Amino acid sequence: FPCTPRGIAGEISHFFAGLTSVYTARFAAWITINYTLVKGMSYLGILYVQLPYFKGLGLTGAQYQKLMNISLMAWSLKPAFGVLSDTVPILGYHKRYYVVLCCILGPAAVACVNLLPRDPSAGNAAGALFFLLMMSVATVDLLGEGKYSSILAKDKTGHGPSMVTWVWMCYGT
């Protein structure tokens, strides 16, 4: 494995080409975008912005920890979101419109967080909005996992582990 930037880029390109030869390019691109931007960058961005944001509101460390943990509780609710999407389809789809709703809810929560007053009284509202942000990321993550798991279950080529590697590489990027 060449350790030059060009060699690494070539290896990644070759790896991705192998995935798109088995799975559709649209599916591989969706996995790349979902796990790089949504679960990767959005999740980490939400995590890293909370401390300075809550400090800017003038909250104590204990208040920050409480609100941070509330926002992270959205990840514990992933099974409930899965049951909801499986039992209550929107317009006949179990995943599609839930993802669309989350992609609307997340930016709306960001906009609302930015409109809150910069004082301690806004702490609980900000905590609820950060929870909604994490919930949108967790739900898109869950529904993405469900989709690629169902596709990999049908795969008889043996490339399933490569797709899982790609997912985690995108997330880690």
User: Domain residues of the chain, as ranges?
Assistant: 5-172
User: What is the pTM for the complete model shown?
Assistant: 0.86
Nearest to 106 by CA among 71, 135, 84, 128: 135
Judged by average pLDDT, the poorest of 48-57, 63-72, 131-140, 155-164 is 155-164
Nearest to 116 by CA among 128, 126, 130, 106: 126
Q: Which long-range contacts (CB under 8 A, 24 or more apart) does 28-31 make?
A: 28/166, 31/144, 31/148, 31/163, 31/166, 31/167, 31/170
Judged by average pLDDT, the poorest of 12-16, 28-32, 77-81, 117-121 is 12-16
Largest CA distance in the chain: 57
What is the per-residue pLDDT across 70-99, written as a single tens digit (0 to 9) for each? 999 999 999 999 999 999 999 999 999 999
